[in-house]
Amino acid sequence: MEDNIYIDQNYNLTRLKKYLNYQVSSSLLFFLSFQAFILIFLASAAALIFTPFMLYVLFTEKKKGWIILFIVVVVIPIILLIILSIEVEFSRPLLFISLGLFYFYCFLLRFEVNDWVREAMVRNQYLFEKKQRENDLKSFEDKFK
């Protein structure tokens, strides 16, 4: 019975993979393209909500290189854009640039997270099969005692 239960030890990593691979329908994007304010608001809200979870998963998985890359690609340019944007008329393009950098980072992270989940599944399968072999060997040895 215990052998049939699959325990996913990397639940947050699997959730991160699901969120990064989520696809919005093209018709929804088409309709949102006519409402730039709503599009900017939704993209900004998604980025603000998703960032803490993404950083938490990267921290728990000890992926320090990806956290440093996040700081270099997303945080530092946003800080520079905020410091350099003295005039209000440049706020919308700067917001698009900062959102673009964030979603570019998520695009790159998506491929790596898929590999991490695949490696974790293979590792779990290996450990499960190893335990199964050990149990089979133990039961075989018990027959001859």
- The reported pTM is 0.72
> pLDDT tens across 24-51, in order?
666 666 666 677 777 778 888 888 988 9
Would you say 100 and 76 are in contact if contact means Cβ atoms under 8 Å apart?
no
> What is the spatial distance between Cα 125 and Cα 121, in angstroms, rounded to a whole number?
6
> What is the spatial distance between Cα 45 and Cα 43, in angstroms, rounded to a whole number?
6
pLDDT at residue number 2: 42
Q: Is residue 6 over pLDDT 50?
A: no
> pLDDT tens across 69-88, in order?
999 998 988 888 777 776 65
Domain ranges of the chain: 2-143
